Every structure is written in C-alpha cells, then in structure tokens.
Amino acid sequence: MTDLPLTDTEIVEAERELGVPFPQEYRAYLREVSAGGALFRLQRTARGWWWDGNDVWRRELLAVPFPHPDSYAEKDEELTEREPRADTFGDDAAYQTAWRAWADEVERFEDLKTAGAVVLQEHGCGFSSLLALTGPLAGTVWWDGRATCDRIVPLSLDHTAGARPVRFQEWLGQGSWALLPPGWGAHHAPDPVVPR
C-alpha cells in the first residue's frame, strides 16, 4: 500500500465537498488502510476531492441514488425499439440527424446507470468494480460488464439465492472475480483485495 490513509478531517472534508456521506465500511478503509492502495485513490486535486480513474464530469451524478439494474430494464428495451432505421427516412441526412439525437439520449441514459457510484478498480476490457455511494444500495459493490453484455450485475457470495450484492468489506475479502455470477468467465478462487 503506497497511499497513506486519510485523516478523519480529510474524510469529512471530502464528503462535504462531494455532497455524499461515504458508507461506513469504506470510511474505515480510507481511515485505517489506505486512500487508495489496491483501489482507485481518493485525493485532493487542484479541482477538489476526487478519485483517480473516474471521470471528473461524473461528479454531478454522485448525489443521484445508484439504481438497481432491474429498475431500468424497460427503458433499455424502449430505447432499443426506438433506434432510428435508415429505411424509414426519405434521405440520409434526416436519418443521420435522428440517429445522432437517439445516440445522445442513449449515452445520457447509460451515464445514469452508474449514477451514485464510483469505480473502485478497473479489470481490463472495459470491466470494472463499482461502489454504490448513494441510495438504498449504498455500500454495495457491483460488476460493470456493459463492455460485452450491456449489464451491470451484483457481485455476490451466493448467486443462487437472490444474489444479494456484497458489502464493501465482504468484497475486500474476496475480490471481484470470485464474486461474479456463474458463467461470467473462468471461476477464480477468492483473491482478497486487501490481504489479511
């Protein structure tokens, strides 16, 4: 661990500036283990407190409650059905204009799927682990697999019994690869994020 822990004063300052209280388990990690270490580092920058590896423009979405993926399934389908098709337009310019407007709407909607969350770790190929900071799911950890399957799924200790999303502390002891649903790649033995 090369990133020193934060002080209580720094954590409170970051929470106040970002407008969100951190889940208790994450606060304890920041205070007792590291401001980053195996995770993207939370630090004070010239633009204020923020996490390495996270887009600064997402700051405005941090206070929006992290949505459960089931909550936007219908909207996903509706957007897909509304994708403009070239054969329904009289000319290519009209089609391109309609398609760009639709694509912008899709992009805004995709951004909302991770509102209220930060990326804890990148895993390559567009995969990442997310920590929900706001809403009823605050403190839980999720797998962003949209790069290949258009889905965000809970990382869970038991995917057969409802797939309760793991809490931050549970995730630290297992690592993301061991907590993926069956069939989501080769099964990996637990690989703690923070060795005990």
By the 8 A CB rule, do 67 and 115 touch?
A: yes
Strands (E), 15-138: 42-45, 48-51, 117-124, 127-132
What pTM was estimated for this model as a whole? 0.92
pLDDT, one tens digit per residue, over 133-183 is 999 999 999 999 998 888 999 999 998 888 899 999 999 999 999 999 988
Give the CA radius of gyration of the chain.
19
- How far is the C-alpha of 54 from the C-alpha of 62, rounded, in Å? 11
**pLDDT tens for each residue of 11-62:** 999 999 999 999 999 999 999 999 999 999 999 999 999 999 999 999 999 9
Mention every residue, 6+ apart, whose C-beta is less than 8 A from residue 26: 131, 133, 139, 168
Token reading at 141:
């950890």
Whether 53 and 94 have beta carbons less than 8 Å apart is answered as no
